[in-house]
A and B are shown apart, each in its own frame.
Chain A
Amino acid sequence: MSAPVVEAPADREVPEERPAGDRAPASSRGGSLTAYAMVAPNLLLIVVFLLVPLVWALVMSFQAKRSFGPGRWTGLDNLTRLLGDDVFWRALLNTGIFTVATVPLSVGLGLALALLMDRALPGRGVFRTIVYLPIAISTLVTSLVGLLLFDETVGIVNGLLRDAGIGPVSWQTDGRLAMVTVVLMTLWTRVGFGMLVYLAALQDVDGEVMEAAAVDGAGPLARVRHIVVPWLRPTTFFLVVINLIWSFQVFDVVYVMTNGGPGYDTTMLVTYAYDEGFGAARNFGYGATVGLVLFVVTLAVTLVQVRINRRTEEA
């Protein structure tokens, strides 16, 4: 593995530069104009395509509104319906189950594989590449392959199980197993990412400290537990947060592999919002309300992240 190309200074945290203008006031003339010109396109895109829709989503959530039609103010009707909506609670629960299943496994297996493939080993580069490959594969391909593997009648897994005298296993008609297949295909693409990020962080583990620990009689497991894992804490934290956010937002795999079924057994927040907004009902008001729940959950996770970050930085 070559050294990372985009190299921030070695101490990771870059101290804030004094703006050039503070030191040489003469040179700042025209500087701020250039600066505004350089950030303006980005800000414009953010405001138009993100902030305006966010505010509009809030507005829609207080309206009865079908597709592009005019919105009629209905106060808290959408929220009331949401709270009494069994399918919504089911979608929230399913998203929770999916999250609890995918996040620890993505991060944990990523760490395990990174430790496995960190030290010298014949064919290490090939092994790593194979585990990385699914990162570059679109979720659509992943999902179609998932269908091929777990199709109950002509799928590959049931074919192999049949050769072994087992099955057929009802991967698609049993709600729990359908959830398992969705989780498995998600892990296929996520574990490699976790391993990649961990391997990059492991490059920086101090070899001398490890050797000193070994000389002092610390076994491999003790070294992992007391040196490597604490060292990797910021990396783990990052991976947990990004995996949480990805899991809350899950859509593609579910849409293609199960379409939320059987029944509502794999319906997620985003697939439900999509069905309400872009399905037969075309209920933009209610769809936006369901979407805002995702926003609130993401916001909460991010705020918790910021708090924990601040605390560890102070410590």
Chain B
Amino acid sequence: MSRPLRFVVCVLVCAVFAFPLLAMVVVAFTPRELIFDGGAGLWPDRWTTSNFTGLTEAFPVWRWFGNALVVATLTTVLAVAVNLAAGYALAKLPFRGRGLVFVVVLSTLMVPTQAIMMPQFELVARMGLIGFFWAVILPSASTALGVFLARQFFLSVPIELVEAARIDGCNHWTAFVRIVLPLAKPLIAVMALLAFMTQWNDFLWPLITLRDPDLYTLPVAMSYLQGQFDADYGGLMAMALVSCVPLLVVFVVLQRYFVAGFARSGIR
């Protein structure tokens, strides 16, 4: 394909991909009467910010925002910690049952949480976690992808480095913390981004476990608003826009880390 032709095709493709986003932004700033009168369009006669003010007045939007931030941050910290540690042990430390542990971690890929949501819910309830964010955080911390990314990275760290540290008097733990972890910053960045994004956007499990509107994360809040707003798309899109802008900004700014993370997830 010649270069001008490729350029034109790219423009068309991007128009299609940008179209839903554009629609969301425009409708978020469209007065509700206009939508009820003539339907939503891509260029309304008037613009308004009343969808946003109405939304924040009627609903605890900032609280939901805070919930989402707390849940996603705590999950990220916990996920990076447990997956990093397990990945390192699997890559660099000798212990009996190492192969078995790796198989157990990988086999979790075969158990979709959607398949076991009823017993999972009852278990979490019987542990007394319902009504707390831990009900959402704890079951999503350990991920096969996280362990796998960490293990792959640590396999490529030369063992001589660790051994040198050991000869200098470090034990296994201090060698890990002082020598290996500082090398792993890019890995940690990728793991943190993936964990944060996954939790920020997760819907089904928070929908099941967060029964109290005061505890909702953003996706659950949006589902709740869908019932409240009916066809008031202005309010819905205002909420949708508010909920996805932070992550979109992070995504664009740190794109190369995301790309690296996703791309590496593609290598078995």
Contact = CB atoms under 8 A, between A and B. Distances in A.
A144 interface: yes
B266 A238 contact: yes
B123 interface: yes
A121 B7 contact: yes
Given A17-B91, A145-B20, A234-B268, A140 B256 contact: no
14 contacts: A5-B187, A6-B264, A12-B267, A34-B172, A41-B82, A46-B104, A137-B247, A148-B23, A192-B17, A197-B265, A251-B114, A273-B114, A291-B117, A298-B115
Nearest to A197: B266
B65 interface: no
B40 A148 contact: yes
Contacts of A274: 117, 204
Contact of B13 (A127, A199, A248, A302): A127
A140 B147 contact: no
Interface string B222-254: 110010000101001100100110011011100
A188 interface: yes
Nearest to B155: A14
A53 B119 contact: yes
Nearest to B203: A252
A6 B260 CA distance: 7
* A interface secondary structure, majority: helix
What's the interface size class on A, roughly?
35 or more
A1 to B, nearest CB: 7
Interface stretch (A19-27, A79-87, A96-104, A208-216): A19-27
* B interface secondary structure, majority: helix
A144 B23 contact: no
A308 to B, nearest CB: 11
Contacts of B40: 148, 151, 154-156, 159
A139 B119 contact: no
B244 A141 contact: yes
A130 interface: yes
B93 interface: yes
Contacts of A159: 38-41
Given A42-B142, A132-B258, A154-B40, 15 more contacts: A4-B259, A5-B257, A14-B156, A17-B92, A21-B94, A41-B81, A43-B104, A46-B108, A49-B124, A52-B119, A126-B14, A145-B21, A148-B23, A197-B262, A251-B114
Contacts of B49: none
Interface string A217-250: 0001000000000000011001100000100110
Contact of A57 (B116, B153, B247, B259): B116
B77 interface: no
Interface in B141-163: 141-142, 147, 149, 152-153, 155-156, 159, 162-163
Given A6-B260, A188-B20, A20 B109 contact: no
B58 interface: no
Q: Which 6 A-B pairs rank lowest in CB-CB distance, beginning with the nearest? A: A19-B94, A200-B263, A138-B201, A21-B94, A56-B119, A136-B251
